[in-house]
Amino acid sequence: MPGLLWYVGALLAWVNGRPPKDISTLAVPKNFMLGTATSAYQVEGAWNESGKGLSIWDTYVHEHPEFIVDGSNGDVAADSYHQYKQDVAALKHLGVDFYRFSISWSRILPYGHVNTVNEAGIEYYNSLINELKSNKIEPMVAMYHWDLPQALQDLGGWANPVMAEYFEDYARMLFHKFGDRVKWWITFVEPDSIAKGYIPSWKKAPGVNSSHVGLYLAIHTLIKSHSRTYHLYSNEFRDTQKGKVGISLNSRWYEPETESAADIEAAEKAIQYQFGLFANPIYSPEGDYPLIISKELEKLSIAQGYPSSRLRKFTPEEVISVKGTHDFLGLNYYTARIARAPEAVTDINSVADNNVILRTDPRWPASASAHLKVVPLGFRKLLNWIKRAYNNTPVLITENGFSDRGEIEDINRIKYITSHMSQVIKAINTDGCNVIGYTVWSLLDNFEWDKGYTERFGLYQVNFSDPSRHRVPKLSAHVFSEITEKRQVPLCVHGCPMEMRSHSSAVSFNRIFISTYMLIMTYMRFIFLP
């Protein structure tokens, strides 16, 4: 009997107007790691239990529930603090190689400093790590995923350069407590998003309005914090623990609107502004911030009346210290934008720092998140850009996922995952990109920051109205588990959104009937077959 991948491939092919004979698969490369991810604030809950201190997200959602679309919070979330064994059982069903989760700094150190340690927090993460190891799932730990202890935010947060010292102290404790079992470390997840917490338009914690000055102070501190942590590991722990340390950066792909030199430069500026500001100092052979950005920001800052650039400068010694502080590059990719050169400047104070006009293509399929259009080919293009820019350093995809409203029959998520995984495999096999693993965001439906529970990314549905937070595998969970088992990704090349194609809205009654029938048969197979 054909496997689930065949049924899903046939379903996708029929929905998109192709007969099942078009179905084919791509083999997952040998030694390529497959996993899924969560973050502490989004799933743990237990916000004030067992000695945990306040984080900036606790403060943000409690003081300003109006900032969250549905007025919700992460006080309970998916209750993973109490139900971590169910999470590990779900991971076991998925057959993943690793689980990327984050540690809540304020659960370990309630006030952010190492003088006060919460042993209950240490015990929780030890239990989670041990449960993963006993099920042959590799723990991949993110040290920081957006939830700074409030006590440190009260000192200025990431805009205060002393934070680099405090983060190093925190990292040393994590290495001491968990490094005997954790071999994959991520210092920061999406530092671009962390730094944006210091601009007024970014509707996420800590919500500080620093007139675009704090943004660049935070960028500088985050990079130096990463660098210090990498050197700490190399100097004190690497020889005995033999792990790897990287950082997880997020980026869209930016496609030039035309082939004009101005639009090509605009697209390059956009990617350098979002991605290169963090990647260049760490991964480029030269180190330091991208010249195309640092020069323009200095010019713009002075024109706006500042005495110097709002972007801090690294000393020559700091450039050397930061450069090369990586064992891999973590990459979060979700979507793309079309970039074009700006119009003539009329008001210097209204100019955006990246100074690029961005838009989406109306033909790109949509997700539940208005800003996350489905553009798989952009993934492959971004991987090739990284290959060229950073000497083909090893890339670990640390997030890639699709939002909907929580449907169990999440066909669009399956299409998203399979089409994006296909582009990654093509980037490896055809383009020679050095990609070593892929992570689906997310294991569970969770608290989606300012969107609350209105958008869902999980492979597992969570019933947030049920005190037990019951978990149910979606169809995508079954498909991903078969991908991990068979090491094959199903394709429907002409129908899935593989080449930035749009979907026809005219789907015949017969196709709807057939696709529904095949979906029912797929579920019948789960119920009645071993």
Q: Summarize pLDDT for 104-117 with one digit per residue, the tens.
A: 999 999 999 999 99
Q: What is the mean pLDDT of the chain?
A: 91
pLDDT of residue 14: 46
Answer whether residue 68 shows pLDDT above 50. Answer: yes
Average pLDDT on 253-274 reads 97
Indicate which residue of 44, 257, 318, 399 is catalytic.
399
Three-class SS of 347-373: CHHHCCCCCCEEECCCCCCCCCCCCCC
Structural domains in the chain plus CATH codes: 4-528 (3.20.20.80)
Answer whether residue 10 shows pLDDT above 80. Answer: no
Average pLDDT on 342-353 reads 76
- Are 167 and 228 a contacting pair, CB within 8 Å? yes
Answer whether residue 497 shows pLDDT above 80. Answer: no
pLDDT of residue 307: 96
Answer whether residue 19 shows pLDDT above 80. Answer: no
pLDDT of residue 344: 76
Average pLDDT on 346-363 reads 86
pLDDT of residue 241: 98
Answer whether residue 242 shows pLDDT above 60. Answer: yes
Greatest mean pLDDT range, 18-27, 197-206, 469-478: 469-478
Is residue 259 annotated as part of the catalytic site, yes or no? no
Answer whether residue 351 shows pLDDT above 90. Answer: no
Answer whether residue 526 shows pLDDT above 90. Answer: no
Answer whether residue 508 shows pLDDT above 90. Answer: no
If 0-12 CB within 10 Å is exposed, 13-18 middle and 19+ buried, where does residue 123 land? exposed
pLDDT of residue 491: 84
pLDDT of residue 23: 63
The band of 122, judged by pLDDT with boundaries at 50, 70 and 90, is very high
Indicate which residue of 44, 131, 190, 482 is catalytic.
190
Q: Sign of the C-alpha dihedral, residues 524, 525, 529, 530?
A: negative
Residue with tokens 């961005």: 358
The DSSP-derived string for 179-218 is: TTT--EEEEEE-HHHHHGGGSTT--STT----TTTHHHHH
pLDDT of residue 506: 28
Q: Kindly report the pTM of this predicted structure.
A: 0.91
- Are 114 and 170 a contacting pair, CB within 8 Å? yes
Answer whether residue 16 shows pLDDT above 60. Answer: no
Is residue 66 annotated as part of the catalytic site, yes or no? no
Q: Per this entry, what is the length of the chain?
A: 530
